[in-house]
Chains A and B, each alone.
Chain A
């Protein structure tokens, strides 16, 4: 019940957000914000559709971007056809057609991959991803080689008479499709196929002895997840009006995995969180720092080790304690984690940035600027402060974390009774 409110708030916020940053003086929307929000929408679809495999069906796929990408390329060609008047479809259904392209390819590759289990499945999907990336560079007619393919999204065919000349219109189209796709994916989890996907994830063999062919369950789940990824790719094509090899290559597949995992694969909404967070890091932190990928990587590793259920899993773990009205007892233990965590974090960031400016930054002739003053990366002091903060914060956090763990365990045991 509460999560429904949360979703409603999220949607309203997504609609309203561009207007908070509207530049009334120049009658302009904040372009940076709009493109970031648009990117979030596509990534939410990508991450959610990836979780149909990883979280819901236990399928560790390494080629999810393939279906996103093919949706993108298909949309470019469809838009070009629509632009010349050869294709009588309005803009609003283009993402659906892109989804069908994703579906078709996922049917083809799914038939090969889903016969295999576990490692063999992962290997085959890795192969598929590489195959498609190579194909994208080889077949120029469809993929346009390294330069990719381009289009003009102003096809003058819209159900609502929109031109899509402004970023805001495109963003609202993305928002509508993201919401629709998320609702459909959620609906799927409540159908026989969705439940049997969970069942084959938990116990592949047992599913056979209640009458299901688990390979067909996986195949259908795989195909449908390709459909949704294709929708995301279609939105990508509409937004950027260009699709290159990046839209289907391995780094984007890895990103899908990262977003779903960091957000949490055990809760439906987890990947939404992950997609928003990673996109924020990508567009926000990447402006501030060369090393943003280092931070994403370290965060991923830390999640795998300390919080394998992801952000949403952490929130969910508080459920019983909150239910018992004992959240207050966690306040002080949490506060005690703040200072050592900050120490560890700032120390780590300091070290990474110093390192980065010592090498890459120097090559680019940049200077590390902090608190308005520039910092000499060759001096000892900044290094010593960062290292000290990192080590002290780390040790202190270890100590506090042990205490927190005790409190948590006691509280959980108490609540269970």
Chain B
């Protein structure tokens, strides 16, 4: 069974069809990268999978179950978590609180208004470990909105994987980072997504060809190629539509 499947997924915004029949199968544990030019519909795909927008037609399955009519929080509880291209964190809460909030639901605290958080030892330890993992321990009590850009991106990734989702979607996690920051972020991503299914949108070709088991090329809302890095690199259509233009 696949971890995540899209079957002829389409999405219209008004009269324009932005996603024009995408079919995709991602095996459990696979590291899958989506590449494509600006405006191809990569983020829109993520928005459809994660339930942020309803799809116009088609089917999306998570571990064999239909999720395309579910609201985002239900999809998240089923084990799919996503990050945002434009950093989306809790600005006026501390870094530690951000991570602890991201841990809450998966540790079945639900809407509890009776458990005192300071006494939840396992929860607090998990948040500290996560801080350590993200190299944010020194910034523990700072408001998230005051972190540097790269630190906010790290926090974004941390919040995405905190809940222990088995399928992780990362939308351009390294965009806007310097080379060293990118290297650091990629090492982090490798570490924290170990053993999980990873679907990632990325513009940095070096990163993509380094990390991916499978690459899908999306152009104007359609998949024009999908396969191993070697196959995709050799693909004529890809070279013409995308890679060529990029690498020259």
Contact = CB atoms under 8 A, between A and B. Distances in A.
B112 A213 contact: no
Contact of A202 (B82, B93, B160): B93
A329 interface: no
B149 interface: no
Given A191-B115, A196-B104, A211 B71 contact: no
B109 A211 contact: no
Contacts of B118: 190
Contacts of B163: 210-211
A217 interface: yes
Contact of B117 (A192, A202, A266): A192
A208 interface: yes
A193 B81 CA distance: 21
A208 B71 contact: yes
Interface residues of B, number: 37
A224 B109 CA distance: 18
Interface in A186-208: 187-188, 190-196, 198-199, 201-203, 205-208
| Residues of A contacting B: mostly | helix
Contacts of B115: 191-192
Contacts of A193: 111-113
B72 A198 contact: no
A21 interface: no
Chain A contact patch, size range: 20 to 34
Contact of A206 (B71, B90, B97, B116): B90
Contacts of A81: none
A192 B33 CA distance: 35
A216 interface: yes
Interface string B87-99: 0111111000100
Residue of B82, B110, B162 ringed by the most chain A CB atoms within 10 A? B110
A220 to B, nearest CB: 6
Interface string B209-223: 000000000000000
Contacts of B52: 205
A117 to B, nearest CB: 15
Contacts of A19: none
B152 interface: no
A216 B71 CA distance: 13
B71 A192 contact: no
A139 interface: no
Contacts of A194: 113
B113 A210 contact: no
Given A203-B90, A206-B89, A211-B105, A195 B117 contact: yes
B104 A190 contact: no
Contacts of A195: 93, 97, 100-101, 104, 117
Contacts of A220: 111, 113
Contacts of B102: 210
Nearest to B97: A195
B73 interface: yes
Contacts of A191: 112-117
Nearest to A188: B113
B111 A196 contact: yes
A206 B98 CA distance: 11
Residue of B76, B90, B112 ringed by the most chain A CB atoms within 10 A? B90
Nearest to B103: A210
A192 B93 contact: no
A194 B112 CA distance: 9
A212 B88 CA distance: 15
B4 interface: no
A212 B100 contact: no
A201 B101 CA distance: 13
Contacts of A211: 73, 76-77, 104-106, 163
Given A195-B117, A211-B76, A203 B88 contact: yes
B93 A199 contact: yes
Contacts of B82: 209
A266 B231 CA distance: 56
B50 interface: yes
Residue of A188, A205, A212 ringed by the most chain B CB atoms within 10 A? A212
A218 to B, nearest CB: 11
B71 A213 contact: yes
B159 interface: yes
Contacts of B91: 202-203
Nearest to A221: B113
Contact of A192 (B90, B92, B111): B111
Contacts of B104: 192, 195-196, 210-212
A252 B116 CA distance: 33
Given A202-B91, A203-B88, A212 B73 contact: yes
Interface of A: 187-188, 190-196, 198-199, 201-203, 205-213, 216-217, 220, 224, 266
14 contacts: A191-B112, A191-B116, A192-B104, A198-B92, A203-B91, A206-B88, A209-B76, A210-B76, A210-B81, A210-B102, A210-B163, A211-B106, A211-B163, A220-B111
